[in-house]
A and B are shown apart, each in its own frame.
Chain A
Amino acid sequence: GAGVSQSPSNKVTEKGKDVELRCDPISGHTALYWYRQSLGQGLEFLIYFQGNSAPDKSGLPSDRFSAERTGGSVSTLTIQRTQQEDSAVYLCASSPPGRVNQPQHFGDGTRLSIL
Chain B
Amino acid sequence: TQLLEQSPQFLSIQEGENLTVYCNSSSVFSSLQWYRQEPGEGPVLLVTVVTGGEVKKLKRLTFQFGDARKDSSLHITAAQPGDTGLYLCAGGSQGNLIFGKGTKLSVKP
Contacts and interface: CB of A to CB of B under 8 A. Distances in A.
A47 to B, nearest CB: 9
Interface residues of B, number: 26
Contacts of B100: 42
Contact of B96 (A45, A103, A105): A45
Contact of A93 (B6, B42, B98): B42
Q: How many A residues are at the interface, by size bracket?
A: 20 to 34
A70 interface: no
A12 interface: no
Interface string A9-43: 00000000000000000000001010100001111
Contacts of A107: 42
A45 B4 CA distance: 13
A4 interface: yes
Contacts of B45: 103-105
Contacts of A109: 41-42
A3 to B, nearest CB: 9
Contacts of A41: 101-102
Interface of A: 4, 31, 33, 35, 40-45, 48, 50, 56, 91, 93, 100-101, 103-109
Interface of B: 6, 30-31, 33, 40-45, 48, 86, 88, 90, 92-102, 104
A-B interface, 5 closest residue pairs, ranked by CB to CB distance from nearest: A106-B42, A101-B92, A42-B101, A43-B99, A103-B45
